[in-house]
Each structure stands twice: as structure tokens, then as C-alpha cells.
Amino acid sequence: MEIFTQLGVDSSLPYQFVVLTITFILANFIFLGKLQSVLDIREEKTVKLENAADDTLEKVTAMQSEYKHKIEDANRIALKNSTEKKNKITQKYTEQYKQTEKELNTLVDSSRAEFSKEVAGNKDKYLAESETLAQSLVQKILQ
């Protein structure tokens, strides 16, 4: 008791306790309850947003890997198509080149044969003519 009297506790303590309890109940009903519900709602939304952000991040990662896979497939298909087209074009022009080469070789061979015949024909003619010219030169020298 002496400690309570030194602290200034007197007969008004129960009244103060009742007033304090009523004030706490009113503050809890008017202000603290609403504050607690706001804090609960805010925490719930924050946690949900974090979960939603994690889910969105997982979706983005999945979409990114799917995108990379599709791009790799598209590149592979494009490379395959371009290689096939290149091979077809190369084969086509190789065949054309070989056909043209055969035609030119045939033309060259026939031209060579004609020229050889012409040279052979002219050779006899020129040799016959050379004898006539040689005879006329000998006659001119002798004169």
C-alpha cells in the first residue's frame, strides 16, 4: 500500500480504470478496428500482388522459352528450305551448264573437223599452185 500511495494512487483508481477501459473499447470500436481491417486488407492485397507477380513472372519465363523454341524452329526450317532451294537451283544450272558444254564441245569438234577439211583441201590447192609459182620463179631467175 505504501508503494501505491507513493505513486499517487488513491480512491479514484477504479474510476480511472473504468474510464480507461471504456475509452479503449470505444477507440477499438471506432478507430482501431477499422485500422486493423485496413491493415489486413492491405496485407492481403500486397501478398496477392506478390503472388500474382510471381505467377506473371513464371508465365513470362514460359512464354520466353516458348518464343526462343519457336524462333529456333523457324530458323531451322528456313535454313533447311533455303538449302533445299539452293541445291535445286545448283542442280538445275549444273545440268544446263553440262548440256551447254556438250553442245559447245560438239560445235567446236564439228568446226575443227570442217576447218581441218578446209585446210587439207586448201593445202593441196596451194601445193599445186606453189609448184606453178616455183616453176615461174625458176624461169625468171634463168632468164
**pLDDT tens sequence across 11-39:** 777 888 899 999 989 988 888 888 888 88
What pLDDT, on a 0 to 100 scale, did the predictor assign at position 19?
93
Mean pLDDT for 88-114 is 93
**Residue listed under C-alpha cell 529456333:** 72
- Tell me how far apart the alpha carbons of residues 62 and 56 are, in angstroms, rounded to a whole number: 10
- Tell me how far apart the alpha carbons of residues 19 and 27 are, in angstroms, rounded to a whole number: 12
What pLDDT, on a 0 to 100 scale, did the predictor assign at position 28?
83
Q: What is the pTM of this model?
A: 0.42
- Tell me how far apart the alpha carbons of residues 25 and 19 are, in angstroms, rounded to a whole number: 10
Output DSSP code: residue 7.
T
Q: Which of 112, 89, 108 is nearest to 100 (CA)?
A: 108
The C-alpha cell at 58 is 513464371
pLDDT digits (tens, 9 = 90+) for 70-97: 999 999 999 999 999 999 999 999 999 9
End-to-end CA, the chain: 181
